Amino acid sequence: MITTIQYNSRKLKIDLKQPIDISIPLRASNINVNAWYVGPPTIEPEKDGDWVAAVAQEASVNFNNIYFNPHAHGTHTECVGHITKKVHSINAHLKQFFFLAEVITVAPETFLEDKVISKKQLQFMLGNKKRDALVIRTMPNTKLKKNKQYSNTNWPYLLEDAVAYLVEKGIKHLLIDLPSIDREKDEGAMLGHNVFWNTKGELRMDATITELIYVPNSVEDGEYFLNLQIAPFENDATPSKPILYKIIS
């Protein structure tokens, strides 16, 4: 179903029958994607004495409890409340869900003992493009990202000036296929997060960071229409399901 959407001053034609899901599902498994030194998520039926809430165990319904951490166990979207003393809710501050997005593929550069994404790389990829959202796919890009155990791997991250550049460009929604835009072990500095949400000035309350996405190699770099779907959790972060739609020329 092809539809035309008026977005700001542009008319965008998209095919709603061809969504591109770039989320990683949450599974109760040791091979669920994981970060931040926590165990895997659990999905288990409620129990009351000998009664187990599972149809396979003669109950009339399946009635599961789920235990997980949104930051560690899959695709999630977070707001400034992730790093502020006052815990702001992503559900309270993300009120629009459709954005013009650019998908880019970046091979992180070597910086000291780390792999990083630099301002120069982002400048080259974005040029004069004006976008609300940026989706970063890092190289190498394999399906192993869907179940990678990231703890103690020193994953690639964005340099502070690279994040400042995105803020200057007007990027409100940053999506990346890593557990964080910051270094895994940075002594709590959270440099990129602080710059992105402008914690030294007026907070960017409507800006979000989405981490642990997966963009298949079949998805070309370029302009897309993004539907950033979240679960309505009153928390700094929530599981999310970002969907891309290719814009038809």
User: Could you give all domains of the chain from N- to C-terminal order, each with its CATH number?
Assistant: 2-26+70-248 (3.50.30.50)
How confident is residue 92, by pLDDT bands cut at 50, 70 and 90? very high
CA 34 – CA 26 distance, rounded (Å) = 10
Angstrom distances, CA of residue 69 to CA of 47, 153, 157, 242:
22, 19, 21, 18
Asked if pLDDT for residue 21 goes beyond 80, the answer is yes
Residue 225, pLDDT > 90, answer yes
Q: How confident is the model at residue 108 (pLDDT cuts 50, 70, 90)?
A: very high
- Binned at pLDDT 50, 70 and 90, residue 110 comes out as very high
30 closest CA partner among 20, 21, 41 = 41
Q: Span 193-202, mean pLDDT?
A: 97
* pLDDT at position 42 over 80: yes
Residue 249 has pLDDT above 80, yes or no: no
On the question of pLDDT at 1 being above 90, the answer is: no
pTM of the model: 0.97
Q: What share of the chain has pLDDT > 70, as a percent?
A: 100
Judged against a pLDDT cut of 80, whether residue 120 lies above it is answered with yes
Looking at every residue in the chain, the average pLDDT score rounds to 97
170 and 126 Cβ atoms separated by less than 8 Å = no
Over residues 119-138, the mean pLDDT reads 97
How far apart, in whole angstroms, are the C-alpha atoms of residue 77 and residue 60? 35
Q: Round to whole Å and give the CA distance between 23 and 243.
A: 8
Residue 87 is predicted with a pLDDT of 87
> Residue 240 CB: number of other CB atoms within 10 A?
26
Q: Is the pLDDT of residue 183 over 80?
A: yes
Q: Which run of H or E residues covers position 91?
A: helix 90-93
Query: Does position 237 have pLDDT exceeding 90, yes or no?
Result: yes
**pLDDT class of 29 with cuts at 50, 70, 90:** very high
Distance between CA atoms of 196 and 78, rounded to whole angstroms?
12
By CB atoms closer than 10 A (0-12, 13-18, 19+), residue 204 is middle
CA distance 41 to 180: 19
DSSP H helix total and E strand total for the chain = 4, 17
Categorise residue 8: left if φ over 0, alpha if ψ from -120 to 50, beta otherwise: left
pLDDT tier at 220, thresholds 50, 70, 90: very high
Residues 183-199, mean pLDDT to the nearest whole number: 97
Contact 101, 135 (CB under 8 A): yes
**How far, in Å, CA of 245 to CA of 120, rounded?**
28
